[in-house]
Amino acid sequence: MSRQSNRTADNKKMNSELFTLTYGALVTQLCKDYENDEEVNKQLDKMGYNIGVRLIEDFLARSTIGRCQDFRETADIIAKVAFKMYLGITPSVTNWSPAGDEFSLILENNPLADFVELPDNHNTLIYSNLLSGVLRGALEMVQMAVDVKFVQDTLRGDNVTEIRMKFIKRIEENLPAGEE
C-alpha cells in the first residue's frame, strides 16, 4: 500500500533539466523583447505571481498543511516543504529581524540558474526573479501580504543566493456586500 503511494509521488517528479532550460529560454526571450533589465525583472515577477496564485492550490492539496500560526512557521514550511517539493532543495532560514517579521532564505545552489552565466551587460538582471513572484502570489492567496526580494545572487558574484522576505500585513477576508 505504502509502496503504491510512493510510486504516484515519484511520478510527479520530472527531469529538472527540462525546467531549468525552459526557464533559461524564457529569460533569453524576455531579454530580447525588452530593452532594459528592470523591465525583464518586472515581467518575471509578474509571471511568477501568476504561477504562485495557482501553485498554492496544488501545494495545499498535496501537502495537507493547514493554516500557519505565525510567520516563523510559514518560513519553515516554505523552506522545508514547499522548496523541497517543487525544486528539490531545502534553503536555510536565517537573519530573523527582532520583531520576527523578516527573514532570509539562503539557497546554496539555485536550480533555476544551473547552467547560467550572466553576460556583463546584464548586471541589473535578477535572473531568478520569478521565484519572488511565486512566493508573493502564493502567500497572498493565504491572506499574507509579503514583500519578497533578492538581496544576494551567486550569478552576480555573491557567495550565496539570498531571498529576503518581509511580512507586511494580514489580508482581511472581504466578503462581497450582501453576502454572509
Q: Which residues bind other proteins (CB under 8 A)?
A: 11-26, 28-29, 33, 43, 47, 50-51, 54-55, 58, 85-88, 111, 115, 130
Nearer to other proteins, 71 or 135 (CB): 135
Query: And the C-alpha cell for 81?
Result: 516543504
Task: State in angstroms the smallest separation of the CB of 43 from other proteins.
Answer: 7
Cβ closest to other proteins, residue 25 vs residue 151: 25
Instruction: Collect contacts of 34-40 with beta carbons under 8 A, ≥24 apart.
Output: 36/124, 37/122, 37/123, 37/124, 37/125, 37/126, 38/124, 40/125
Closest contact distance (angstroms) between CB of 121 and other proteins is 20
In the complex with other proteins, the residue whose CB is nearer, 7 or 178, is 7
- Give the helix/strand (H/E) hosting 74: helix 71-77
Nearer to other proteins, 125 or 130 (CB): 130
CA distance 99 to 126: 28
15/31 Cα distance (integer angstroms): 25
Q: Measured from the CB atom, is 87 or 160 closer to other proteins?
A: 87
Are 77 and 65 in contact by the 8 Å Cβ rule? The answer is yes
CB of 52 to other proteins, least distance (A): 9
Least Å distance between CB 59 and other proteins?
9
Beta strand 144-152 with 102-107 is unpaired
Task: State in angstroms the smallest separation of the CB of 58 from other proteins.
Answer: 5
